[in-house]
Chain A
Amino acid sequence: MAQSMVEINSLRKSYGSDVVLQEITTSLAEHEVKVLIGASGSGKSTLLRAINLLEGIDDGQIYLDGDDITSVGVDPDKVRAQIGSVFQSFNLFPHLNVLQNITLAPRLVHGITKEIANAEAMSLLERFGLADKAKQYPDLLSGGQQQRVAILRAVITKPKVLLLDEVTSALDPILIAEVLTLISELKAEGMTMMIATHEIGFAKRVADQVLFLHNGQILEFGTPLNILENPKTPELKAFLNALRGAGRL
């Protein structure tokens, strides 16, 4: 077993009396891909946001590559610089073109010169068929292109872990496919990822392990086959049935 890249220990988070995460304990090995499934409001997004410190936690610890990033005195900017995040609504910067979006973090956070950052960004864009979009502004791109640019923006700094939060939920099926292809390629390159998604078929293909979250708790976890073909808890059975009913399985 490779060394743990992310280690989460008894994580707890609540908004007032509303407990959104409780007793979350899990880990993510280097090069491992974990997929979080569960209904909206089950805590998937909160968990991802807790890992890159966009969300304060109430109790427990999170370790990144051996360091406790939830201890007092940790500089969150330094932590986030090592983590890639992609969101459902892309969140590209509309006043910057594709190349500027991608090179912003390398230049400002990692101190890489503009020339080198541009060269790296262009080679990434070329590899994923987006080189002709380098000078375009996000508004002119399709949703799928925007999301792929957002993913490249997150991976250009070679993060220790990539967090993907329902990155295809705002896209139509054809555009979903191009985004999922990109993620599969990242997996083939060994990217460590934690992915929240409703695309169960995709989860089956890329996940080393699937976690089922329900009301802020991990109710089941295991290989995709085990979780999806052999649900044990009534909650997971109900969730899978609901997906099946909606034609998503």
Chain B
Amino acid sequence: MSYKPSALRLQREAARRRVSRHSTLVALISTLAIGAVLSIVVSGAPGFKLVRESFFNAHYARTAFPNVLSGLWLNLRVMILAEIFVLIFGLLIALARTSKSAILYPLRLLATIYTDIFRGLPLLLVLLLVGLGIPGLQLSWLPNSAVVLGTISLILTYSAYVAEVIRAGIEAVNPAQRMAGRALGLTQTQTQRVVILPQALRKVTPPLLNDLVSLQKDSGLISVLGAIDAIRAAGIETAQSFNFTPYLVAGALFVALTIPLTRFTDWLTRKQDRARVQQGQW
């Protein structure tokens, strides 16, 4: 038998369409209104012409672009290297902090002190301490390149954040899972590796990626040590032309670099949320 929608259903669907059309219209009008207000306020500002000239100049954007881009290549290498080490160290620190064994107590203490300090210290300060302090020791076997020391500073700071995220994930796994693993005869280490960690990392992937996005943009801070990255390259251009457009070029490139990762994070979060709704876990 073929199904014929009832009049009631058609009525409901028509009502839903009306509501949806109405929302679209409201969204459109409010966007236009806010856009109009913004453009009037900004373009009507007394310094608008000057700002447009010194920040949005197409000529300087074109001439600065090659140097800023080659600076970005340095950022890219720094961020990828830092991300790899941050994930490794973050995982090790999180494991140390969540371990219960007595023999690891000193390690646990050290890990706690480490995360406390490096989550609290501003990255800029770490960069200055490491970047200027280590060469100041005048030990010939220590690295003194701005790039290396800058990358080390990023790793030091972000490992602390990532360790805390992973630790939260480990602690969010139902303790019954650990019990089930041990009941099968798995050792503490085996349970951690095959039962707890895979679940923990899955739980914290979105906040973890968020930290990596943040690390990517903060890789621009190594410029304070003199490394010629995108921001430093833009600064050099600006110093020659007295026009700030190169900074904006660098900014746009950084945003372009992080957008794929942020979109991916959003997509992953949505996917996990959907899975949770289907399982009815709220």
Contacts and interface: CB of A to CB of B under 8 A. Distances in A.
B179 A77 contact: no
A154 B185 CA distance: 10
B185 A80 contact: yes
Interface stretch (B70-78, B194-202, B214-222): B194-202
Given A105-B186, A108-B194, A87 B199 contact: no
Contact of B182 (A54, A89, A93, A139): A54
B20 interface: no
Interface residues of B, number: 18
B199 A95 contact: yes
Interface in B152-183: 176-177, 179-183
A95 B179 contact: no
A83 B180 CA distance: 12
B177 A77 contact: no
A87 B180 contact: yes
Nearest to A52: B183
A105 B185 contact: yes
Interface in A121-170: 139, 153-154, 157
Given A104-B194, A108-B194, A91 B179 contact: yes
Nearest to A80: B185
B279 interface: yes
A109 interface: yes
A139 B279 contact: yes
Nearest to B180: A91
Interface string B78-102: 0000000000000000000000000
Contacts of A110: 185
B232 to A, nearest CB: 44
Nearest to A91: B180
A95 B193 CA distance: 13
A153 B179 contact: no
A95 B198 contact: yes
B198 A89 contact: no
A85 interface: yes
B8 interface: no
B34 to A, nearest CB: 43
Given A54-B183, A85-B183, A93-B199, 13 more contacts: A76-B182, A78-B185, A85-B184, A87-B176, A91-B177, A93-B180, A93-B181, A95-B199, A104-B184, A104-B186, A105-B186, A109-B186, A139-B279
Contacts, number: 59
Chain A interface size band reads: 20 to 34
A170 B173 CA distance: 20
Nearest to B278: A139
A81 interface: yes
A75 to B, nearest CB: 9
A10 B194 CA distance: 37
Contact of A93 (B185, B195, B279): B195
Interface of A: 52, 54, 76-78, 80-83, 85, 87, 89, 91-95, 104-105, 108-110, 139, 153-154, 157
Contacts of A76: 182
8 contacts: A54-B179, A54-B182, A78-B185, A85-B180, A105-B185, A105-B186, A108-B186, A108-B194
A109 B184 contact: yes
Nearest to B185: A81
B187 interface: yes
Given A95-B202, A108-B190, A80 B183 contact: yes
Contacts of B199: 93-95
A166 to B, nearest CB: 13
A139 B185 CA distance: 24
Contacts of A77: 182, 185-187
B177 A93 contact: yes
Nearest to B279: A139
A204 to B, nearest CB: 28
B159 to A, nearest CB: 25
B185 A109 contact: yes
Contacts of A83: 183
Contacts of A104: 184, 186, 194
A81 B182 CA distance: 9
Interface in B133-166: none
A83 B184 CA distance: 8
A153 B180 CA distance: 11
A153 to B, nearest CB: 7
A157 to B, nearest CB: 8
